[in-house]
Amino acid sequence: MFFLLNVISLIFRYCWNMSYSNHHFRAHFSCSMPLDDIGEKTTCKGFILSNIPLNQSNDSTKPDHPKKILMFLSGLMTCANEPYIQKAVHDLMDIYPELHNEYTVLVYENMHRTSLEVAVHIISFIEHYNSCLQTIEELNIVGFSAGGILASNVMANTSFLNDTCKRRIITYDTPMSVIHVMERFSQNWIYRFDFLYYYIVLNAYRTHVDNIRIRTILRNDQKGIHVYRGVDYALGQLKRIHGLTDKELVEKTGFNYVQPRLTEIHHLYFKEDPVIDVNFNIQYRNEQMRYLLENKPKITMLEKPGFEHCTDIWKNNHFAKYILGVLKSPPSIKLIKYYGKMK
């Protein structure tokens, strides 16, 4: 019961802070670029929101595109410019105003496809930027919660960048496996994350570009929670919707440690996260490292005290300072003073 009360308090604080803070951010993402004409021709590839215009121009009065990219990916099933991303960028601009000139700050947004599908679209944009706008010397991708898994799958497919390009993945309370999260709570009678996930899935696919076909698959579940059949059925839905095998679903919903050479991975997480299993995350990382014979990424895992999930971002600008610390140097004692011990 104490755990349930903490979860309810966490959700209330998150929703309250999100609604309150959403009116106090400066509009840093003033430019938008549709991705339908980049790479593979397909509908609803989404938009890239940026702090600078993303166009091919020979106008000498316009500044060159920065050679460094800082991209943000939201959590849950769809990618959007969520308030917590706006808060992080707002704080970054406050503490480091030069960020605007040094980095192209990006957010990928697509409300018509799920995070299981969009990695190829983001990769196509990065390749377009590198070949048509500016050679990328530094690529940093920040993923909130499940957005960290998407970030790992994007970065794993950037072999077209120069070997000298710095690559960093920064995760914030990211589970190493979405399937494990669902299975972990499927036996819990009080807090059933798999029930919650059922409604997340319904909401994500309601605006999907392939909604008619997907609605046919989901129609037997539209009647309410009393017909919901648990985590196994939810995973079966995802496999049927996207035509995935068991192995492919595991790969798409799990963190990818098979990264290009010299990639850095920085995990930031709460010690008492109500959603993810910290011990499983550490075990997952250790098992993955055991199987990698080469190109092992440099990994730091920084543990924060508290019962939170991506929520202390509303209280202070520590997360922005953490990001800036990672961009400027490896995590140091200055960062540990905000977040506790490093694993």
Domain ranges of the chain: 6-177+254-339, 179-248
Contact 253, 178 (CB under 8 A): yes
Residues in the chain: 343
Candidates 206, 180, 149; CA nearest to 279 is: 180
CATH, domain range 6-177+254-339: 3.40.50.1820
C-alpha dist (Å) from residue 146 to 79, 86, 109, 160, 244: 10, 17, 15, 25, 19
What is the DSSP code (8-state) at residue 132? I
Mean pLDDT along residues 187-214: 73
Q: Are strands 103-109 and 68-73 parallel, antiparallel or unpaired?
A: parallel
- Greatest mean pLDDT among 51-55, 158-162, 276-280 lies in 158-162
pLDDT for the residue numbered 206: 84
- Greatest mean pLDDT among 91-95, 196-200, 234-238, 290-294 lies in 91-95
| DSSP codes, 22-54 | TTS------EEEE-TTSSS--S---EEEESS--
Report the run of H or E that residue 332 belongs to, with start and end: none
CA distance 306 to 133: 43
Candidates 115, 109, 118; CA nearest to 71 is: 109
Q: Model confidence over 292-317: pLDDT tens digits?
A: 888 889 998 888 888 888 888 888 88
Mean pLDDT across the chain: 83
Q: Per mean pLDDT, which range of 50-59, 116-125, 215-224, 267-276 is the poorest?
A: 215-224
pLDDT for the residue numbered 106: 97
- Tell if the pTM clears 0.85, that is, is over it: yes
Q: Are strands 68-73 and 138-144 parallel, antiparallel or unpaired?
A: parallel
**What's at 246, amino acid-wise?**
D
For residue 296, give the 3-state DSSP assignment.
coil
Q: Model confidence over 51-103: pLDDT tens digits?
A: 999 876 555 444 589 999 999 999 988 999 998 999 999 999 999 999 988 99
Contacting residues for 12 by C-beta, under 8 A, at least 6 apart: none
Which phi and psi angles does 75 have, rounded to 5°?
Answer: -90, -165
pLDDT for the residue numbered 188: 62
